[in-house]
Amino acid sequence: MEKSAEEKNLMLAMAATIGVFCLGQIPGSIDAAISKISIAFNLSSTSGMYMTTVACLVSVAFSVVLGMIAGKKVSFRTLILFCATVELVTALVPFLVDNFVVLVVLRGLFGIGFGGMQSMETAVTTALIPPHKRAALLGAGMSFGFGANCVLQLLGGVLADIGWNYTFLNHLLLLIPYAVVVVACFKLDFNAQHEGEGHEAAEQLPEKLSLPIYQTWVLMLLVGVFIAPLLVGASFLSEQIIASAFVAGVVCVCFSVGCMVGGAIYPKLYERLGFVSLPVFLLLMAAGIAGCGLSHNIVGLCVAIFFAGVGFSTTQACCMMVLTLRIAHTRVAFSAAIMMALFNLGMFLSSEYEEVVGMVCGDALYAPLFFAAVVLVVLAVFFVVVSPLRERRG
C-alpha cells in the first residue's frame, strides 16, 4: 500500500533529524590520532588536545549567536545548510595541510560547523517531530550520531597508523548524512509546528527561562569539563598500555558504542525511571569515568569507557528532553544553543582543568578522572532532591 504524503514527510523528517545528529555528534572524530599528531608536531599531550578543544571554543561563540537568530532573523534551513557545508569542507581540508597553526585555524572553522549542527539538534527535533515521538527520536538521534562518531574514530585510528593526516579522510563518510540533510532542507518546513498529542501542553509552556533550564545549562558545562579528559585523553590512556593509534581508536569506539547503546535504551529508561532518570545516568557516567582511571589493561579500559558512554549519551538526551518539557517551542532553539555552547566551553576549559588538577595532585592524566567521578556523584545526589523533571514526570 502506497504511503501518504504525510507519512513520507514524517519519514524524511526523522531521517533529517538523525542526519543533524550525525553531523553534530562528531567532535571526537580524530581523537584516536591526537597522540600521533602531537608526536608529528613535537607537542605535549595538553597542547595536542587543542586540536579538539579549539573547535569547542569557537563553537561556543557561534552557538550563542545561532541561538539568538535561528528561526527569527535567519531561517533554520539557511543555518543548517551553512553549518553542514562548513563542517564537511573544514573536516576534509586538513588532509592537505602540514602546518600546525593552519590545522588549528581549520579546526576552529570546523567548530562553527559541528557546533552549529549540535546546537540545532533539539530545535530541529522540536520543529519536525510530533511531541509524542520526540523522546524516541532524541534517543535514536543520539544513537545514530554516536554511531557515526564510532565509525569515524575507528577508521581514523586505522588511517592514522598510515599517516597522521590520513585520519581526516574518515570524514568522507559524512557525505551520507550531509546529502540527507540537504534534501530535507529543500522539502520540509522547519517552521511548522505539529498538532496532536502533547500539543496543547506544549503551547502552555512558558517563554521565560526557569530554574530547571539554568540547572541543565550548568550541568552540561560541568559534563563538558569532565568528559573531555576522557574523550580526548583516550589515546593517551591507551598509549600507557599499547602505543598504537588503532588500539586508541578501538578504545574511542567503545565510548561511542556505549553512547549508541545509551541512545537506543534512553526512551525506555526515561519512561521507567521518571524524575530519577538524570541522577541514574550521572551515576553511570561517574562509574565509567572512575573505571577508566582504575583500568590498566585494554579490556578493562574498553569496558569502563563503554559505560561512561552510556551514561554520557543518556544524560545529554535527558537534558535535551528537559528543554522540550520546560520552555515554549519558540525558545527551544535559543535554550539548546546556550546549553551546547556551555557544554563546548566546558570541553575547551578541560585542558586548564587537567593542568590545575595535575599541579595539585602531580598527575594530569588519571587524577582528573577521579575528581570528575566524585563531583558527578555529588551532582546525582543533588538532582534526586532538586530534579528538573520532577514536576513534569511526577
Contact 67, 333 (CB under 8 A): yes
Cβ-defined contacts of 353-361 (< 8 Å, 24+): 353/225, 353/226, 353/229, 354/46, 354/49, 354/229, 354/233, 355/46
Please give the grid coordinates belonging to residue 312: 554520557
Please give the grid coordinates belonging to residue 332: 527551544
> How many Å separate Cα 188 from the centre of its chain?
25
> What domains can you pick out in the chain, each with its CATH number?
7-393 (1.20.1250.20)
Predicted local distance difference test score (pLDDT) of residue 243? 59
- Report the residue count for the chain: 394
For the chain, percent helix, then strand, then coil, each to nearest 5?
80, 0, 15
Backbone angles phi, psi at 70, to 5 degrees: -60, 125
Please give the grid coordinates belonging to residue 150: 564510532
Predicted local distance difference test score (pLDDT) of residue 84? 93
Instruction: For the chain, 394 residues long, give each residue's pLDDT as a single digit of tens.
Output: 456 667 778 888 889 999 999 998 887 778 777 778 888 887 766 666 667 778 877 877 787 787 778 777 888 888 899 999 999 999 999 999 888 888 889 988 998 888 888 888 888 888 888 877 887 888 888 888 888 887 887 788 788 888 888 999 999 999 999 999 999 888 887 766 544 444 444 446 667 788 889 999 999 999 999 988 787 676 667 666 665 666 776 787 788 789 889 988 998 898 888 888 999 999 999 999 999 888 888 888 899 999 999 999 999 989 988 888 888 777 787 888 888 888 878 877 887 888 898 888 888 778 889 999 999 999 999 998 887 776 544 3
